[in-house]
Amino acid sequence: MRELLSHAVKLLLYLVVLAVAFSMLLPFLWMLSTAFKQPAQILALPPIWIPRPITFDNFVQLMKAVPFGRFFLNSAINSAVLTSSQLFLCALTGYAFAKLPFPGRNWLFMLIVSSMMVPGAVTLIPAFLVVVKLGWVNTWWGLLVPRMATVFGVFFMRQFFMNLPDDYSDAARIDGASEFGTFWRIMIPLCKPALATLGTFAFIGTWNDFVWPLVVVNSDRLKTLPLGFAVLGGHYGFHFEWTMAAAVLTILPVLMVFMALQEYVIRGIALTGLR
């Protein structure tokens, strides 16, 4: 009887998990379906989940309405530069906090980490005022420089380096390696899972970022995909089919990156003790 009850509880838990997973997947499926529908099918009752016929005209009309190539290139440059800079700067800073003894190291680290408790909206206006003073509004400098390193990235990499034995760095120093040489040649190859995890988070965050580009960019020359597609609801009237097609195009690179690196993401989170 007890065994039967245990199986019933497990079955109930599985059903609950499946229901929650399906509820999370449902909006994505509706987005994907709507992107290939004809306009008359979008608001039909009962809802039409499978488009008949499947049309790619929404994507064609979307690319005619907005400079998709320019927006995609801007997003690619923005995400590539910021992901690379965050990987390097956060790893370098995390290594310093984990392995290099200097006065006030722990207090400084706690001060930096405590800034994570401050909402981003609070620092948005001060950051924008700094950009204005530097004359970086509507420039690549203003779009990129304020986000080249993150507190979370420093914390994440520091936790990983703390788990690495000091024997590796000590052996490198005995062999005559410089401090940067020890970091670059010894430590970086050992933290590939953490770098893949941080790189995934950084790419997804910068690719989907909307608020900061909206604040510092006001011309199509520098608009990224999320910011560029936001005009679809204004200048061109609201087209559900165009909006869903834009969402599909925007999310594809994120899905590809995550699917390619998901194994490293799980391993990196486990090794840094963030489970």
**Whole-prediction pTM value?**
0.82
pLDDT at position 274 is 45
Higher pLDDT, 263 or 224: 224
Q: Which fold has domain 66-271?
A: MetI-like fold (1.10.3720)
- The whole-number average pLDDT for the span 61-65 is 81
- Return the percentage of the chain with pLDDT > 90, whole number: 25
Tens-digit pLDDT profile for residues 3-36: 777 778 888 889 999 989 888 888 888 888 888 8
Per residue in 197-256, pLDDT tens? 899 889 989 998 888 998 998 888 888 988 887 766 555 556 777 788 888 888 888 888
pLDDT tens per residue, range 162-184: 888 888 888 888 888 888 888 88
DSSP of the chain, one letter per residue?
Answer: -HHHHHHHHHHHHHHHHHHHHHHHHHHHHHHHHHHTS-HHHHT-SS---S-SS---HHHHHHHHHS-HHHHHHHHHHHHHHHHHHHHHHHHHHHHHHHH---TTHHHHHHHHHHGGGS-HHHHHHHHHHHHHHHT-TTSHHHHHGGGSS-HHHHHHHHHHHHTS-HHHHHHHHHTT--HHHIIIIIIHHHTHHHHHHHHHHHHHHHHH--HHHHHH--STTT--HHHHHGGGGTTT---HHHHHHHHHHHHHHHHHHHHHHHHHHHHHHHHTT--
Q: Average the pLDDT over each of 84-93, 144-153, 158-167, 237-246 and give the range with the smallest value.
A: 237-246
Q: Where are the domains of the chain?
A: 1-55, 66-271
On the question of pLDDT at 275 being above 60, the answer is no
Question: Is the pLDDT assigned to residue 86 strictly greater than 90?
Answer: yes
Predicted confidence at residue 81, as pLDDT, reads: 95
